[in-house]
Homo-oligomer: A and B are copies of this chain.
Amino acid sequence: MDKSDFDLRDFMPYLLNMAAEEASLEFQQYYKGRYGMLRTEWRVLFHLGRYGEMTAKTICDRARIHKTKVSRAVSALEQKRFLSRKEVEEDRRHELLRLTNNGVSAYNDISAKAKEFDEKLVRPFSVEEQSILRQCLIKLANL
């Protein structure tokens, strides 16, 4: 097997990582600079803003984030007054998380920017390319 024709540009994991990094950078700077949020915090915020109140465990499962990361993100978001916790009567192990008004407006702002940003990212591609790209990524990500 000849390796001299095997370049990093041919290696999917590398390409995906580089593209992901590049694509995330600018957007990341937005929510970090404006709200001091980390990526996990933004994802948690997004889930609550987009799908309504839910428990931390549900976020873990849906977003495939480890529970310790979610736990810390929730604490951080709580401290920044973006969400509040409510114990569930029937099962006191659960805590329902919901966004505060503050959280909602941050969500609205950031997700609008996200949409904008997404459009900008895929603008160079044809509609067909966009569709194929998304489908491939969804399959690769096991979504």
A50 contacts the other chain (CB 8 A): yes
Cα-based distance from A143 to B7 in the complex (angstroms): 12
Measured CB to CB, the closest approach of chain B to A136, in angstroms, equals 5
Q: Could you say how many copies of this chain the assembly holds?
A: 2
Decide yes or no: A7 and B138 within 8 Å by CB, A16-B19, A20-B13 being known contacts: no
- Size band of the interface chain A makes with B: 35 or more
Taking a contact as CB atoms under 8 Å apart, the answer to whether A19 and B141 are in contact is yes
**A34 to chain B: which residues have CB within 8 Å?**
none
A96 contacts the other chain (CB 8 A): no
Taking a contact as CB atoms under 8 Å apart, the answer to whether B15 and A114 are in contact is no
A92 contacts the other chain (CB 8 A): no
Residues of A within 8 A of B (CB): 1, 3-4, 6-24, 27, 43, 46, 50, 63-64, 108, 111-112, 114-115, 117-118, 121-122, 124-125, 129, 132-143
